[in-house]
Amino acid sequence: MRLLIYTLIIGFSLGVSSKANADIRFNGFASVKAGTTLGSGETLYKYEDELSWRHETLVGLQFGADLQQDLSVTAQLVGRGSESYETNLEWAYISYRITDNLKFNAGRIRTPFYKYTDFIDVGYAYDWVRVPQSVYNLNFTNLDGVSLYYTSQLMGFDSTLHLTAGSNDGRPEIAGRKVDGKVRGGYGIIWELNRDFFTVRLAHLGGELTASDPELNGFTEMLRGIGYASLADDLLLDDSHSDFNGLAVTLDKYDWVLVSELTNVTFENSFVPEQTGFYVSLGHRMESFTPYISYEKRDDSAKREIYADVPQTAPFYSDLAGLIDSLAVDREAWSLGMRYDFHSSAAFKVQLTHSDNKITNEQNQLLTFGIDLVF
């Protein structure tokens, strides 16, 4: 598959260069980061109490071709240390500028959940070592479909309206396990307004979500076999309508930058709980240095009503209650960090994060440092 992708890109580049005098562009980005938790046995964001360089180290290459007459092609390949640097084609789309204010994209694009959706992998684009995990936690990062951008002026604001539609196959994490998932009938409406130092972004996305896990499927079949078909249905995630709502606000003035996002995700007719995430971050630019502090919180309330009427003497009660309860999240985190732009295309970052799990009463501290660069 990787060989096919490279062959297509190289072949296309040569073809359009000779036939259409296309403007070919190559851009890249990379992150080299290491981290360790500070207490024996502590874990946070997949880091443990031994220094690791692989979890957030990555390299990416973006290819673009301007085919003239308002048509262009974009592709992006990313290799991650956490995936043994196996190359993935994460973007692959064509763009057509219909008018100066209207642009159409079709292909594999980013699912526009968050403010930094398009730059999640490009660490150089933001001050933190990583985007706040209490908000940036949905695994459906790409969408195979179409999008439409419309820019205009509205009451002194620069307005960007973004519409998108498509489908997705991914590996979301449920109850701590990666499962096979897909979204069908996905859609999104995103509206961003900017004026001087103020930016606000509103997002609403929805779709029909299906997820499957062999272990969970076996459990639901067991429930059906002993007469708990209705309970088994409660544990299905089959064409469950899901909604995402997000609000982002940015204030950037006098070398101070305040960024905040609030997100909410709901799943109809599903055992997966409502998910609410929030963060606020304040940074101050001092020439090449940007110290910052951030606070984030995640709150997912388990749907314990699913097993409320099940007798505690039932042989499957503990497994059922354990599954439902494992989806509850009540966690907050504080981070202190520093960004140092030692080069026009590279920044060194260091960040200390203190996480407090209110459910397990566990507190973990993570120290991460590294370099983000673009080329």
Estimate to the nearest angstrom the gap between the alpha carbon of 89 and the chain centroid. Answer: 16
Whole-structure pTM over 0.75, yes or no?
Answer: yes
- Which residue range is the domain that position 314 belongs to? 92-374
Examine residue 61 and state whether it is found in any structural domain, yes or no: no
Comparing 17-31, 105-119, 239-253, the range with the smallest average pLDDT is 17-31
Examine residue 47 and state whether it is found in any structural domain, yes or no: no
- CATH number, domain containing residue 271: 2.40.160.10
The confidence band for 5, taking pLDDT boundaries of 50, 70 and 90, is: very low
* Non-local CB neighbours of 297 within 8 Å, separated by 6+ positions: 134, 277, 278, 279, 331, 332, 333
The confidence band for 215, taking pLDDT boundaries of 50, 70 and 90, is: confident
Higher pLDDT residue, 181 or 364? Answer: 364
pLDDT tens by residue, 257-313: 999 999 999 999 889 999 999 999 999 999 999 999 999 999 999 999 999 999 999
**Which whole number is the average pLDDT over 47-74?**
97
pLDDT of 21: 61
pLDDT of 8: 43
Estimate to the nearest angstrom the gap between the alpha carbon of 334 and the chain centroid. Answer: 20
Residue with tokens 């998910």, as numbered in its chain: 275
Number of domains into which the chain is organized: 1
Examine residue 21 and state whether it is found in any structural domain, yes or no: no
Examine residue 244 and state whether it is found in any structural domain, yes or no: yes
Examine residue 36 and state whether it is found in any structural domain, yes or no: no
pLDDT of 176: 62
pLDDT tens by residue, 137-157: 988 889 999 999 999 999 999
Comparing 221-235, 250-264, 346-360, the range with the smallest average pLDDT is 221-235
Comparing 5-9, 109-113, 179-183, 263-267, the range with the smallest average pLDDT is 5-9
Could you give the percent of the chain with pLDDT greater than 90? 86
Examine residue 113 and state whether it is found in any structural domain, yes or no: yes
R_g of the chain, CA atoms, integer Å: 23
Examine residue 277 and state whether it is found in any structural domain, yes or no: yes
Examine residue 46 and state whether it is found in any structural domain, yes or no: no
pLDDT of 2: 45
